[in-house]
Every structure is written in C-alpha cells, then in structure tokens.
Amino acid sequence: MSEHLRQRSIRSFVLRAGRMGSGQARALAELGPRFLLPYQPGLLDLHAAFGREAPRIVEIGFGMGHATATIADSHRETDYLGIEVHEPGVGALLKRIEELGLDNLRIVQHDAVEVFNHMIADASLDGIHIFFPDPWHKKRHHKRRLIQPAFVALLARKLKHGGYLHLATDWEDYAQQMLEVLSADQQLANTADTYAPRPEYRPLTKFEQRGLRLGHGVWDLLFRRR
C-alpha cells in the first residue's frame, strides 16, 4: 500500500455501535433533513446553509453536544457547524436543537478531517473548537491523535486572519503535544504565554467539575491566526 493510502486509513476515531435512544432516533428522522448537512467532496455554501451572514464557528467531535448546544444557545448572533461521527451524539444534539429552538446550528455527520479537506473554504471561519478530543493514551495509538502538525496547518488555513483555534483537554501529555504543535505552526500565535484561562463561553462539563474536585487538571489552548 502506498504511504498516502496507508496514512489515510489512520482515523482519529473508531465507530462504536452506540445505542440510539428513541428520542434521539425520532430527532434524527424529523430534524435531520433541516439541520444535517450531507458530506460532499466539494465546498459547502455556508451562506445558503444558514441563510444569513454571521460569524462562523466550527466544532470538531462534539460528542453528545452538551457544550455545543449551550454555546449556540447563548450566542444566537453566531452560526455554529458541529462535526461528529457518532450517530447517537448527532441524535442527542438534534434533540437539544429542538428543545432550545436553535436556528444557528448545523451538523455534518462525517470525519472532520475529510470535511476540512473538502468542504470548508480557506480563510472562512471565525473560530474552531475542539474540546476533549480522544487522547489515544497508548503510545502506539498516538498517530491517531487529531492534533498533528499537518491537520493543525489545515485548520489554521481555514481560519480568517484573527480567527481563533480553541482546544481543551484533561490529558496532560496531550496538552503538551497540543502546545508544541500549535506553537510550531507559523500561521498561529498564542494568546497566552502557554495555556490559556478557560474562556467564559466554554461551559464546565459534569465530568470536568468532578475531575477538578479530585484535583485533575484541564488545559485550554487559545491561538489566533496571524
């Protein structure tokens, strides 16, 4: 197999056959057509997708979408595109979209690496959020980590000048890798000396509150495109 093909087969996720709750399944069927944008190997028209011009933030790997929905709810003036491969999470976020009456959130259910490679125009985003990406803690799995030089360079290119990249992790060794990779990227500048204070828009997750009580760390990184 060529190096190119071999590399493409390394994914940052393993699709789990998670159970769909009945509410999630219903949300997927009823709201999917309105809020899910199909993956396509061509540029996405964000203006058409949201029906307006507004600041645009993309979130990679939103999980069950708790932070995503909270942030979109309290920033209705901004449009959010969430990318996630795990279907029950997509169903859960669609359910929240309905409960909160959100109109500023859309979802792509697909590998974010491919979405960024094909669907997002250069210099088109105001911000990118990646909260608690899978740490792949075994050394032999580190190659699956999302935060690698080539992907970070791609993310940076998709940001407008002055746009931000915000990462958070509770895994110290991954935090260090993030800091190294982001600091080495010539397109990006750190907004802090090293790690950044948690921006107020990122809600504390339940699991994070518990971790902090137990003395575990959480590290935020906030860089801007030059």
Ligand X SMILES: C[S@@+](CC[C@H](N)C(=O)[O-])C[C@H]1O[C@@H](n2cnc3c(N)ncnc32)[C@H](O)[C@@H]1O
Least distance CB 151 / ligand X (angstroms): 9
Identity of the residue, 98 or 111, whose beta carbon is nearer to ligand X in the bound complex: 111
CB of 129 to ligand X, least distance (A): 8
The residue (of 63 and 163) whose beta carbon lies closer to ligand X is 63
Residue 134 among the catalytic residues: yes
217 vs 152: CA distance, rounded Å:
23
Q: Which of 68, 74, 77 is nearest to 95 (CA)?
A: 68
- Find the part of the chain contacting ligand X (CB under 6 A) among 22-30, 37-45, 61-69, 95-103: 61-69
Residue of 126, 134, 170, 185 marked active site? 134
- Specify burial of residue 31 (Cβ count, 10 A radius: 0-12, 13-18, 19+): middle
Q: How far is the CB of 12 from ligand X (least distance, A)?
A: 4
User: Token pair of 186, please?
Assistant: 């010539």
64 versus 156: smaller Cβ distance to ligand X = 64
Residue 219 binds ligand X, judged by CB under 6 A? no
Q: Of the candidates 24, 37, 56, 61, which one interacts with ligand X according to CB under 6 A?
A: 61
Nearest C-alpha neighbor of 167 from the set 103, 100, 221, 109 = 221
Report in angstroms how near the CB of residue 57 gets to ligand X at its nearest: 14
Q: Binding to ligand X by residue 142, rule CB under 6 A?
A: no
> If binding is defined by CB under 6 A, does position 169 make contact with ligand X?
no
Is the CB of residue 47 less than 8 Å from the CB of residue 53?
yes
Task: Give catalytic residues, as residue numbers.
Answer: 134
Binding residues vs ligand X (CB under 6 A): 12-13, 60-63, 67, 83-86, 89, 111-113, 131-134, 146, 205
